[in-house]
Amino acid sequence: MSERMMEQVDVRRAIACAMWAVAGAPAIAWAQEGTRASQEVTVTGGTLMLLSYMALLVLLLGFLALLAVRQGRDRRELEALTRRMDDVLGGER
């Protein structure tokens, strides 16, 4: 696989993990609703706020990683185009 395809696979995995953390984890908790354990556990507002900030941080870091991957790809493409332009023009600009 090419480097670009590997980067796309890594980004897709990161997005899938983030989506599971945001959407999948609460579904697991809801699936346990009605059991004795779910009736005994209470979650304070501070814990919920902390979890929401953590989820937001994960999404933000994922977005920043995506931007970094795209910037690297664009930088490499620009360098390749610059080399090609130098070859065609003979180093003159």
Mind listing the pLDDT tens digit for each residue in 27-46? 555 555 666 655 666 778 88
Per the prediction, the chain carries an average pLDDT of 80
Range in 5-9, 64-68, 77-81 the model is least confident about: 5-9
| Residue 49: domain span | 3-89
Q: Which residues contact 66 (CB under 8 A, 6 or more apart)?
A: 11, 14, 15
Please check the confidence at residue 64 and state whether its pLDDT lies above 90. yes
pTM: 0.48
Q: Which residue has the tokens 């090609």?
A: 84
* Domains in the chain, number: 1
Which stretches within the chain are classed as H helix? 3-19, 25-31, 36-40, 45-89
Least confident residue range of 17-26, 31-40, 64-73, 78-87: 31-40
